[in-house]
Structure 1
Amino acid sequence: MDRDKFVDMVNDKLKLIRNEYDFTQDRMAEIIGISKKTLVQIEKGRSSLGWTGAVAVCTIFKDSEILQMIFGGDTQDIILSIAFENYDKNYENTMGGKVWWRDVEINGNYRIQQNIISNHYRILDGDDRRISSSFDIEYINKRMKELLGDE
């Protein structure tokens, strides 16, 4: 997934997110910091939130069931993976992949998981803390070897 795909997915679901929270167009536009006219154009597919707007929507509405369904859980992981290409050392607790993740590899105290919706990867430690995330499996495999002391 790249920035354009991410932005397109948020653009396509913006009206559903607004309806999920039962906001008027005026209120939604105010919350995300755009004009109502721009919001209407985005909802009609004639304009775009852009990267910054899509990130803002995902941050503000991080608990949206719509966003969780289209991205497979928390969007922060995806945003950071896209923004930094490969993201390391945030060490945040996760739920261990109970819903949106499948184990790809388990080695020692670490495991590689892949999101079943977005297909991005992450490495979790034995306490289910996120060590690294990326869309690049080669990068994840390299990080796993580093963590295991194989390099």
Structure 2
Amino acid sequence: MTREELVWELDRQVKLVRTEYGLTQEAMARALGMSKKTLVEIEKGRSSLGWMGAAAFCTVFSGSQVLGRLLGGEASDMVRALAFQDLRPTYPPTMGGRVWWRTVEMRGGFRIQQNILSQHYRALDSQNGRVCSSFDLEQVRRQVDELEVRG
């Protein structure tokens, strides 16, 4: 999935999430830091959240069941995977992937997992710390291999 594809999917879910949270258009627009007019245009398919708006949407409504079902868990995971694509940040520990993740393979002291809905990959160290994430399994493998060589 690309950033553009994520934004397109999220644009289509705005009204459902607003309904899920019981918000008026005015209240949701205020929560997202946009005008009601802009929100109405997004809900009608005439405008878009854009990347920054999508990231804010996923953060503000991270507990949404609508977004959880669409993206396979917490929406912010998907945003991080796309935001850090081709970058190598230091991630905080995870819960180890008990619900939305399946282990694809073990490589040394690392576990490569794939999200069962969004299909993106991540690698965890032995303490469940995320070391990388991407939609490209080969990229995750290369990063894990580099960490094993350095380790």
TM-score by length of 2: 0.91
Report Cα offsets for 1:30-68 as digits up to 9, x if no partner: 111111122112112121111111111011111111111
% same residue: 49
Q: Which residue of 2 aligns with 1:59?
A: 59
Deviation at 1:76, TM superposition (A): 2.6
Conserved? CA contact 1:80–1:87, under 8 Å? no
- For structure 2, the 5+ residue unaligned runs are none
Report Cα offsets for 1:117-139 as digits up to 9, x if no partner: 11111000111111111112121
TM-score by length of 1: 0.91
**For 1:135 and 1:105, how far apart are their aligned partners in 2?**
15
RMSD: 1.8
Q: Which residue of 2 aligns with 1:129?
A: 129
- For structure 1, the 5+ residue unaligned runs are none
- What residue identity is the alignment partner of 1:65? Q
Q: Which residue of 2 aligns with 1:80?
A: 80
Report Cα offsets for 1:94-129 as digits up to 9, x if no partner: 121111111110133210001111111100011111
Which one has a larger percent strand, Structure 1 or Structure 2? Answer: 1
Conserved? CA contact 1:111–1:123, under 8 Å? yes
After superposing on structure 2, the runs of 4+ consecutive aligned residues of structure 1 that deviate more than 3 Å are: none
- What residue identity is the alignment partner of 2:143? R
**For 1:54 and 1:88, how far apart are their aligned partners in 2?**
22
**For 1:83 and 1:115, how far apart are their aligned partners in 2?**
17
Tell whether 2:108 aligns with 1:108: yes
| Number of residue pairs matched by the alignment | 151
